[in-house]
């Protein structure tokens, strides 16, 4: 999944489970959307639901949930401890991976426009989606709550961003926005004292602590001493289940304070106060980048290469922050992106080496030369990355560890990209076969079938072309490693170049054979074939230069 967002709608019903179930059923009715959490509260009379998926699917699901809540919830009799002003009170979108906040804001506006116009719901945009500074803060937008909404809607300054400025007693209003992921985390301490845990919380949370000073005349001044972690809230508490105190923290802005920095600051404060952070407990799910960024941070502190696999980065993060201190930490159950990683869509790269060879040798036409070319390219990138990592850790080259670490990161990214093309190339072949299987009983069906075949064929050209582009970059990395890297591994750089060159030429054959049946855009085809020839020539020249360089060092 290239883009992943989370949505956390809050519905003003926390007691009637039948109503809550109908709303969550509406949310789950959209393919590709996963229901991650349902948290009803009787005292608040409010249910917080968490869903995630591809952006278009998520905003469709959110719309259906809002529509169902409008149908089932009557605000005229609603009472609860939590502030609220509508049947669906708030609905934030949160970028998780592969998508910027700016893009997420646009999806929030799409949803808000549809809700306002189709459901005739007064909609206010808030947080990052707010169109004026005054509406950024949710508390300001919701001020006066449901009871003051009728008067608020009459005020021109509070005209909704979308929908009518009309008070509908049954429905109220809704705030739709975009915000960063809220990371809930607890830092475990080797103490049972809540007071001492609070002292650490006050040291690190953005709000800090109140400091009282007495003037000579006896008056008392109160000033606030800010904490070290911006974008965080924290408090100390004792957990009976574990028999320890914790610093419980919400990280509301991961850009200002990543998890690993919050951990480090808490650990430093604890140490100064005679305590120790023994581990970290992540509450709920977490975006993958939180762990990979932490892994890179701790590797850099050790002056070790960060160009290692995703799994290795997670392992370093787990061990460095003690994520398995209280219970085993399973990334498959804690990382948001892994909930959407469908092994069925990547069947080849999950095979063993032996099974992959046997599958290739079978009478099935896929995987074929395109997938093998992508795999050869990924192996070339892996060899270049290995040389970079060995060079980064070579005794006597300590002052160059970061230089080679940067090379290793480039290689790891190329290897991952090319590995993904192994299955994508096979999928592109299957798209062509599916298109040929479409009905052709009348002129409209024939036209649709012909277009589908041409679209699939173009895709089957674009995939190996992207393999060629990536493999040429692998050759550049191999050249750098043959020239600068650990001389004991120069032959590995050479073999990497052989694999990368083969990937370019092999993928080029796939471009050409598929282009032979593509007629929808002859100008694009001619340009693509010319570009293909250029990449092939570059690969041949680069490989020859690398092998000559390797020969001088053997």
pLDDT digits 0-9 by tens, 397-439 = 989 999 999 999 999 999 999 999 999 998 898 899 999 999 9
In terms of Cα–Cα distance, which of 22, 38, 70, 42 is closest to 173?
70
Q: Are residues 362 and 496 in the same domain?
A: yes
Q: Are residues 317 and 357 in the same domain?
A: no
Asked whether the beta carbons of 142 and 92 are under 8 A apart, the reply is no
Domain count, the chain: 3
Separation between Cα atoms, residue 514 and residue 512, nearest integer Å: 5
Q: Give the torsion through C-alpha atoms of 393, 396, 399, 402, to 10 deg.
A: -10
Q: Which of 300, 321, 339 is the last residue of a domain?
A: 339
Q: What is the CA radius of gyration of the chain?
A: 29
Separation between Cα atoms, residue 270 and residue 248, nearest integer Å: 14
> Considering the entire predicted model, what is its pTM?
0.82
Q: Which of 129, 153, 178 is the last residue of a domain?
A: 178
Query: Which pLDDT does position 342 carry in this prediction?
Result: 61
Q: Model confidence over 501-512: pLDDT tens digits? A: 999 999 999 999
Residues sharing a CB contact under 8 Å with residue 413, sequence separation 6 or more, in sequence order: none
Asked whether the beta carbons of 535 and 469 are under 8 A apart, the reply is yes
pLDDT tier, 345 (very low <50, low <70, confident <90, very high otherwise): low
Q: Are residues 493 and 399 in the same domain?
A: yes
Q: Which domain holds residue 478?
A: 343-553
Query: What value, to the nearest 5°, has the Cα angle with vertex 315 and ends 356 and 33?
Result: 70
Asked whether the beta carbons of 50 and 4 are under 8 A apart, the reply is no
Residue of higher predicted confidence among 341 and 307:
307
Query: Which pLDDT does position 228 carry in this prediction?
Result: 97
Q: Tell me, rounded to whole angstroms, the distance of Cα 504 from its chain centroid.
A: 30
Q: Is the pLDDT of residue 344 over 60?
A: no
Separation between Cα atoms, residue 554 and residue 493, nearest integer Å: 12
Query: Which pLDDT does position 347 carry in this prediction?
Result: 78
Strand partners, 334: none
Taking residue 76's Cβ as centre, other Cβ atoms within 10 Å add up to 10
Query: Which pLDDT does position 221 carry in this prediction?
Result: 85
Asked whether the beta carbons of 57 and 32 are under 8 A apart, the reply is yes
Strand partners, 91: 176
CATH number, domain at 474?
Answer: 1.20.120.680
For the four alpha carbons of 18, 24, 29 and 31, in that order, the dihedral sign comes to: negative
Catalytic site positions: 82, 425
Q: Are residues 431 and 512 in the same domain?
A: yes
Separation between Cα atoms, residue 405 and residue 434, nearest integer Å: 44
DSSP H or E stretch at residue 409? helix 401-436
Per-residue pLDDT, averaged over 231-246, amounts to 92
Q: Which of 178, 211, 245 is the last residue of a domain?
A: 178
Q: Are residues 527 and 410 in the same domain?
A: yes
Q: Are residues 250 and 389 in the same domain?
A: no
Helix axes 369-392, 353-361, angle to 10 degrees: 160
Strand, coil or helix: what is 289? helix
């Amino acid at each position: 999944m290239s883009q992943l967002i989370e949505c956390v709608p809050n519905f003003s019903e926390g007691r009637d489970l039948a109503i809550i179930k109908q709303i969550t059923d509406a949310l789950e009715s959209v393919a590709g959307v996963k229901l991650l959490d349902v948290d009803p509260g009787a005292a608040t009379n409010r249910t917080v639901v968490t869903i995630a998926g591809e952006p278009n699917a998520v905003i469709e699901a959110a719309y259906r949930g809002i529509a169902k809540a409008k149908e089932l919830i009557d605000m005229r009799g609603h009472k609860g401890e939590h502030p609220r002003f509508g049947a669906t009170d708030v609905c934030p979108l949160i970028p998780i991976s592969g998508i910027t906040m700016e893009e997420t804001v646009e999806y929030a506006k799409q949803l808000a426009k549809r809700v306002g116009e189709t459901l005739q719901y007064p909609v206010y945009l808030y947080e990052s989606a707010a169109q004026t500074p005054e509406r950024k803060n949710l508390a300001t937008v919701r001020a006066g709550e449901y009871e003051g909404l009728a008067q608020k809607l009459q005020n021109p300054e509070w005209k909704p961003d979308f929908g009518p400025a009309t008070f509908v007693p049954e429905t109220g209003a809704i705030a739709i926005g975009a915000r960063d992921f809220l990371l809930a985390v607890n830092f475990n301490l080797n103490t049972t004292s809540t007071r001492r845990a609070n002292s650490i919380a006050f040291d690190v949370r953005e709000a800090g602590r109140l400091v009282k000073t007495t003037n000579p005349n006896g008056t008392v001044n109160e000033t606030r001493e800010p904490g070290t972690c911006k974008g965080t809230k924290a408090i100390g508490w004792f957990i009976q289940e574990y028999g320890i105190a914790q610093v419980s923290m919400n990280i509301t802005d991961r850009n200002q304070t990543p998890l690993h920095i919050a951990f480090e600051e808490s650990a430093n404060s604890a140490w100064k106060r005679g305590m120790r952070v023994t581990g970290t407990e992540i509450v709920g799910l977490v975006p993958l980048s939180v762990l990979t960024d932490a892994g890179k941070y701790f590797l850099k502190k050790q002056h070790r290469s960060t160009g290692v696999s995703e799994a290795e980065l997670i392992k370093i993060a787990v061990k460095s922050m003690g994520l398995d201190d209280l219970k085993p930490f399973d990334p498959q159950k804690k990382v948001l992106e892994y909930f959407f990683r469908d092994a069925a869509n990547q069947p080849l790269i999950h095979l063993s080496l032996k099974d992959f060879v046997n599958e290739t040798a079978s009478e099935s036409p896929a995987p074929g030369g395109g997938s093998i070319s992508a795999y050869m390219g990924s192996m070339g990138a892996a060899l270049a990355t290995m040389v970079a990592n060995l060079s980064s850790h070579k005794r006597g080259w300590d002052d160059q560890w970061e230089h080679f670490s940067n090379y290793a990161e480039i290689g790891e990214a190329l290897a991952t990209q090319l590995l993904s093309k192994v299955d994508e190339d096979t999928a592109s072949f299957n798209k062509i076969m599916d298109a040929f299987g479409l009905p052709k009983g009348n002129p409209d069906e024939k036209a649709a079938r012909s277009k589908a075949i041409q679209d699939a064929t173009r895709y089957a050209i674009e995939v190996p072309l992207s393999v060629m582009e990536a493999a040429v970059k692998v050759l550049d990395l191999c050249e750098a490693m043959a020239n600068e890297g650990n001389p004991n591994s120069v032959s590995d750089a050479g073999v990497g170049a052989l694999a990368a060159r083969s990937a370019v030429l092999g993928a080029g054959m796939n471009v050409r054979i598929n282009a032979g049946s593509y007629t929808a855009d002859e100008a694009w085809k001619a340009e693509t074939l010319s570009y293909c020839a250029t990449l092939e020539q570059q690969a041949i020249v680069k490989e020859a230069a690398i092998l000559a360089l390797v020969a001088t060092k053997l």
